Amino acid sequence: MKSFDAVFVGLTILDIAGRPVTAIPERGNVAFIEQIRLCPAGTAAGALINAAKLGISTATAACLGEDEKAQFILNYYQRLGIDCSLIQRTAERETSATMLPIRPNGERPALHYRGASDLLLVQEADFDRVLDCRFLHHGGSGLLAAMDQGPSARLLAAAKQRGVITSFDLIACNDDTLALLRPLLPYVDYFMPSLEEAAFLSGKQSVAGIARFFFDAGVGCCVLKDGENGSWLITRDDIQHIPAYQVTARDTTGCGDSYCGGFISALARGMSVQQACQVGSAVAALVATGLGSDAGVENWAQVEAFIATTPLCHSSAD
């Protein structure tokens, strides 16, 4: 019997978000906005907090500084029942953080301090504790300097050897990212970037071509997130478009991360992969209605009710 349904490894930051921001005031002037919120976020943390709200048992391997930002995150996690025993602390860097001036249309330009997440290091001595789970979500390659030097690949390989189901998301793609990912991809059951990121990395334009590129690299299944156009579930035999839900977006921060949290929660409850994508879409839609990476999400029953009562979007993919 595993101790946790899911363990989330990787990028963990504190978001300081405000909305709506139309411009930065000149000189030392002040502008008034409607809302400011602090929230744990990042490719691992944004998935984690939503999965915890949806009722599965969770833990996280992350690195935080010895500062007030870390204490806020730890308090937030403890309120959600997230196990924090795998969290590392460092005095060398402050906790990773981002300032987000959210535009009126929900877009989210970001000012990011990389911080302690670059020092996260899960070594083989940690594997028994980190892999005491049914699902492992790895998030943030590209902004995890220590893990990106080989430990991420070793962790994912060990997960597969132990029968743990793996999912993977990334951030901040650039020309070096594909080389970083190649050693990891053969150990990824569910590859979950945005469609835009996957197109950039593969150099392909069609959904089928993109998926074929990553299948050739060793990925088991592709789940490509496509914003208001929904998402794509691609296996080696089939392509399915999963529609988004109709909501008014106030802030799109963390929507992709929250999709992953909903997806993993649904799989942990025994749902099919297609159903898990639908849950991921619902969670992402709820997050878009508020400010922050878990805004709008309350619990599993609320998500079920949202799916049953909310109309789907119609996109050019339909």
Q: Please report, for the domain that includes residue 229, its CATH number.
A: 3.40.1190.20
Residue 195 lies in a domain: yes
Residue 213 lies in a domain: yes
Confidence of residue 315 (pLDDT cuts 50, 70, 90): low
Q: Please give the order of strands across the beta sheet that includes 111-113.
A: 35-41, 13-19, 97-101, 111-113
For 232-271, write each residue's pLDDT tens digit.
999 999 999 999 999 999 899 899 999 999 999 999 999 9
Residue 316 pLDDT: 54
**How large a percentage of the chain has pLDDT more than 70?**
99
Is 55's pLDDT higher than 80?
A: yes
pTM: 0.96
Domain encompassing residue 86: 4-23+33-309
Give the total number of structural domains in the chain: 1
Strands (E), the chain: 4-10, 13-19, 35-41, 58-61, 63-65, 88-90, 97-101, 111-113, 133-141, 165-170, 190-191, 221-225, 231-234, 239-242
Residue 317 pLDDT: 55
Query: Which of the given ranges, 100-109, 120-129, 168-177, has the highest pLDDT on average?
Result: 120-129
The three-class DSSP label of residue 241 is strand
Residue 154 lies in a domain: yes
Residue 151 lies in a domain: yes
Structure token pair of residue 26: 């000149």
Residue 152 lies in a domain: yes
Comparing 98-112, 124-138, 234-248, 252-266, the range with the smallest average pLDDT is 98-112
Residue 123 pLDDT: 96
Residue 318 pLDDT: 47
Residue 298 lies in a domain: yes
Residue 158 pLDDT: 98
Residue 173 lies in a domain: yes
Mean pLDDT in residue range 288-311: 96
Is 107's pLDDT higher than 90?
A: no
CB contact at 8 A, 244 and 273? no
Location of structure tokens 């990925």: 219
Average pLDDT, rounded, for the chain: 96
> Helix 45-53 to helix 68-79 angle, to the nearest 10 degrees?
30
Residue 163 lies in a domain: yes
